[in-house]
Amino acid sequence: MRILVTGGAGFIGSNFVRLILRNHPDDEVVNFDALTYAGNIENLADLKDNPRHTFVHGDIASTRDVARVFRGQGIDAVVNFAAESHVDRSLHMGPRVFIRTNILGTQILLDAARKHRVQRFLQVSTDEVYGSLGPTGAFTEATPLQPNNPYSATKAGADFMVRAAHHSHGLNAVITRCSNNFGPYQFPEKLIPLMIANALADKPLPVYGDGLHVRDWIYVEDHCSGIDVVLRKGVAGEVYNLGGNYDVPNIQIVKGILKLLGKPDSLITYVKDRPGHDRRYAMDNTRARTELGWQPAHPFDDALRETVNWYVAHQTWWQRIVSGEYRKAYDQMYGWRDKE
Ligand code: NAD
Ligand code: TYD
């Protein structure tokens, strides 16, 4: 299978590309990414000479770029990770770029997938489209979509366009909705890598509000294995919830990181809450487990320890992000191609 992976230079996408190349020796990946602030070609450094991996620099919200990547590539399946993914940015920098990439970009990909008779389209979505839970219960695939922030609203918009492409035009499309990921290559704007980076630098750890907001954490490898299973076995038109069954308050995660690093709790600083901050997410992943035989394989404590160790061992990786140096890496690795 020749898979077009969009957003494959980001956190989850780069882990997914590696999983496909490792587990499916007959598969090839065309990795299409705009290299926004969140895309980092250094995440793919070890794949540069892999003949089954081709990197194409382009924007999913550009019909021209999308037409170029589909033309002559023989794409069998699309897995759409490309997105503006950070809630705080959608709140503080405005939703425009989120609407452009997450909704318009998804629609442009859907149109191209139809035109090129792609056999499978997988939309990578999020638990945040369901909104916020009370103290009990979990989101199922039947939970109504009630997104509460501009990021999740645009992801919900994309989900509806995918649903419509399947329903109206018969596109073979599936949607995965996953809970909060963590693991190697996560951009240090998100909770876990930000807290690790700050703790290592003995800087304050900014916890929003009372720190009792609950997220359901999943190791990135488990999310990627879930996407892989849904891609191959999911029923067209269906949605599959993926989650790690590990829903805990943020403060517990932050304290766990400090403990692993041998740093004091006094680094924790409670700061002004995020506006409209969703109180609790928890995923019911029964459908993916019972119908597709998927299940998360990494216990949280082991995966968090591995993740913390990865950030300790890869300080140059995230320090180049913090300093902005990583943005020059594309020119060094691939820039010659654009000049031809
Ligand atoms: P990320 O921000 O780390 O990566 C996003 C990637 O998309 C980057 O490489 C970026 O350059 C690329 N991109 C952005 N706009 C683009 C455009 N217009 N055209 C082409 N490429 C573009 O995000 P992530 O955390 O890896 O998330 C990937 C996907 O998974 C997103 O769709 C997100 O909504 C979804 N998701 C994330 C989580 C999570 O916890 N991180 C959980 C559930 C679902
Ligand atoms: P985040 O990693 O931004 O993911 P999401 O908003 O998609 O769930 O945030 C995870 C949780 O951590 C969320 O409840 C907000 C909280 N948070 C903080 O308390 N401090 C921070 O600096 C960040 C980035 C997040």
User: Using H for helix, E for strand and C for coil, what is the string for 2-49?
Assistant: EEEEECCCCHHHHHHHHHHHHHCCCCEEEEEECCCCCCCHHHHHHHCC
Tell whether the model's pLDDT for residue 40 goes beyond 50: yes
Bigger pLDDT: 334 or 172? 172
Task: Tell me the ligand closest to 187's alpha carbon.
Answer: 1
Which residues line the pocket of ligand 2, CB cutoff 6 A? 87, 180, 190-191, 194, 206-208, 213, 215, 250, 274
Closest CA to 161 of 173, 176, 179: 173
How many percent of the chain have pLDDT more than 90?
94
Query: Which atom of ligand 1 sits closest to the CA of residue 176?
Result: 44
- The residues assigned a catalytic role are 127-128, 151
Q: How far is the CA of 37 from the centre of ligand 1 (A)?
A: 11
The CATH class of the 191-214+246-277+299-329 domain is alpha beta
111 burial class (0-12, 13-18, 19+ CB within 10 angstroms)?
Answer: middle
Nearest CA to ligand 2 atom 22: 206
How close is the Cα of 55 to the center of ligand 2, in Å? 30
For the segment 38-53, the average pLDDT, to the nearest whole number, is 95
Cβ(122)–Cβ(77) below 8 Å: yes
pLDDT band at 335 (very low <50, low <70, confident <90, very high): low
94 CA to centre of ligand 2 in angstroms: 18
* pLDDT confidence of residue 223: 98
Cα–Cα distance, 108 to 101 (Å, whole number): 10
What's residue 340's pLDDT? 43
Q: Whose Cα sits closest to atom 32 in ligand 1?
A: 81
User: From CA 310, how far away is CA 316, in angstroms rounded?
Assistant: 11
Length of the chain: 340
Average pLDDT on 140-153 reads 98
Least confident range from 13-22, 194-203, 307-316, 328-337: namely 328-337
Q: Could you say which ligand is closest to the alpha carbon of residue 35?
A: 1
Protein residue with its CA nearest to atom 7 in ligand 2: 87
Q: Is the pLDDT of residue 16 over 60?
A: yes
| 108 confidence band (pLDDT: 50, 70, 90) | very high
Q: What is the rounded distance in angstroms from the CA atom of residue 333 to the CA atom of residue 280?
A: 42
pLDDT in tens, 272-290: 999 999 999 999 999 999 9
User: Is the predicted pLDDT of residue 148 greater than 50, yes or no?
Assistant: yes
The answer, yes or no, to whether residue 339 has pLDDT greater than 80, is: no
From the DSSP assignment, how many helices (H) and strands (E) are in the chain? 13, 12
pLDDT digit string, tens, across residues 232-276: 999 999 999 999 999 999 999 999 999 999 999 999 999 999 999
125 CA distance to ligand 1 centroid (A)? 10
* Proximal ligand: closest to the CA of 242: 1
Atom of ligand 2 nearest to the CA of 253: 12
What's the pTM? 0.97
Residue 329: predicted pLDDT: 81
More confident residue, 324 or 253: 253
Homologous superfamily (CATH) for 2-182+217-242: NAD(P)-binding Rossmann-like Domain (3.40.50.720)
* pLDDT of 336 strictly over 60: no
Find the helix packing angle between 63-70 and 106-115, rounded to 10°: 40
pLDDT tier for residue 337 given thresholds of 50, 70 and 90: low
- The region of weakest confidence among 40-44, 86-90, 178-182, 330-334 is 330-334
pLDDT score for 123: 99
pLDDT at 242: 98
The mean pLDDT value for 168-174 works out to: 98
The average pLDDT across 19-37 equals: 98
Delimit the domains of the chain by residue range: 2-182+217-242, 191-214+246-277+299-329
